[in-house]
């Protein structure tokens, strides 16, 4: 049985002080350790240490970054390495978010290199795929996502793929308040699993967590998480407040 993962992607929000306040607030939500839900918060780099230091009341919340470089160290001004992330207590890394693809030129090839690096160094990648609105309107969304999945996970071993989390985020649903319907999410998640079956094996395709992302919130999460191939959410806006993040965890536990 796959567990759900409720993952908060804070993007360029929440400095160290706000991060401390968030974790204090989360500790006051009366949550006990979730049984069927992995939990993750991905703050900006400068807030990672505040997150790992202040999650005392909720030690089961994992902390991750939103990006990483694929080299160990060296002359890469402005970049961060996997070892640095591990040193501050990160266990996950979001890779290939559509905002990184759009504004920072990340390609499937770069995302593939980063995914392999993150796995090699013992971190868990949450690798993102998803089509833009024009691609959906042109009925190309299944092909686009298949190309992204094949490109992002090319050359991974079964063992590596098993440790990878995929987030399907239709770009038209991110930050827009417009969510994919549970049926649209389910059919794409099933498609992703079918692509994984052809690249790897049935067992592996059934073992990988596939998250939905794009305006998930406490109002729509139950219907999305009820779908058999939706294993959690990558959540932006609704992960910024302790009460709504806690509510998402509760909904996931009941799903
Ligand atoms: P959103 O962001 O929940 O604010 O739409 C999701 C994401 O971009 O990961």
Residues with CB under 6 A from ligand 1: 9, 169, 174-175, 213-216, 234-238
Distance of CA 91 to CAs 66, 159, 172, 226, 234, Å? 12, 17, 29, 27, 16
| Domain assignment of residue 57, given as a range | 4-254
The torsion of the CA quartet 217, 16, 106, 146, rounded to 10 degrees, works out to: -30
For residues 226 and 206, the answer to whether their CB atoms sit within 8 Å is no
Instruction: Indicate which atom in ligand 1 lies nearest the CA of residue 128.
Output: 9
> Has this prediction a pTM greater than 0.95?
yes
236 Cα–ligand 1 center, Å: 4
**Number of domains observed in the structure of the chain:** 1
Instruction: Indicate which atom in ligand 1 lies nearest the CA of residue 239.
Output: 3
* CATH classification of the domain holding 134: 3.20.20.70
- Ligand 1: residue of 66, 167, 175 to mutate (most ligand atoms within 8 A of CB) is 175
Q: Which of 97, 141, 189, 191 is catalytic?
A: 97
Span of 4-8, 9-13, 113-117, 171-175 with lowest mean pLDDT: 171-175
173 Cα–ligand 1 center, Å: 8
Measured distance CA(184)–CA(142) in Å, rounded: 11
The confidence score (pLDDT) of residue 197 equals: 98
Q: Which of 99, 106, 169, 247 is catalytic?
A: 169
Instruction: Indicate which atom in ligand 1 lies nearest the CA of residue 214.
Output: 5
CB atoms within 10 A of CB 223: 16
Residue whose CA is closest, atom 2 of ligand 1?
A: 236
Measured distance CA(191)–CA(185) in Å, rounded: 10
Q: For 198-230, how does the pLDDT look when each residue is reduced to its tens digit (9 = 90+)?
A: 999 999 999 999 999 999 999 999 999 999 999
202 Cα–ligand 1 center, Å: 29
Measured distance CA(162)–CA(200) in Å, rounded: 10
130 Cα–ligand 1 center, Å: 12
Show the DSSP H helices in 66-217 as ranges.
82-87, 98-103, 108-120, 133-137, 141-152, 158-162, 182-199, 202-207
The confidence score (pLDDT) of residue 179 equals: 86
Mean pLDDT across the chain, nearest whole number?
97
212 Cα–ligand 1 center, Å: 10
Q: For 1-38, how does the pLDDT look when each residue is reduced to its tens digit (9 = 90+)?
A: 899 999 999 999 999 999 999 999 999 999 999 999 99
Does the pLDDT value for residue 80 go beyond 90?
Answer: yes
Measured distance CA(85)–CA(112) in Å, rounded: 19
C-alpha 173 chain-centroid distance: 15
247 noted as active-site residue: no
């Amino acid at each position: 049985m796959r567990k759900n993962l409720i993952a908060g992607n804070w993007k360029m929000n929440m400095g160290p002080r706000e991060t401390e306040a968030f974790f204090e607030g989360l500790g006051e939500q009366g949550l006990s350790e979730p049984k069927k839900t992995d939990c993750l918060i991905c703050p900006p780099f400068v807030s990672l240490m505040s997150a790992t230091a202040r999650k005392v009341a909720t030690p089961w919340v994992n902390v991750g970054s939103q990006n990483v470089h694929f080299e160990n160290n060296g002359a890469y001004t402005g970049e961060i390495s996997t070892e640095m992330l591990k040193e501050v207590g990160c266990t996950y890394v979001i890779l290939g978010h559509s905002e990184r693809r759009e504004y920072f030129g990340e390609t499937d090839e770069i995302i593939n290199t980063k995914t392999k690096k993150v796995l090699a160094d013992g971190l868990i990648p949450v690798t993102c795929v998803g089509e833009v609105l024009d691609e959906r309107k042109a009925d190309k969304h299944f092909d686009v996502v298949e190309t992204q999945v094949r490109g992002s996970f090319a050359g991974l071993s079964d063992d590596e793929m098993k440790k990878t989390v995929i987030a399907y985020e239709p770009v038209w649903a991110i930050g827009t308040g417009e969510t994919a319907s549970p049926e649209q999410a389910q059919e794409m998640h099933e498609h992703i699993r079918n692509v994984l079956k052809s690249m790897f094996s049935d067992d592996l395709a059934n073992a990988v967590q596939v998250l939905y992302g794009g305006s998930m919130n406490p109002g729509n999460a139950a219907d999305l998480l009820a779908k058999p191939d939706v294993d959690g959410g990558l959540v932006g806006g609704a992960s910024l407040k302790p009460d709504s993040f806690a509510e998402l965890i509760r909904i996931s536990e009941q799903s």
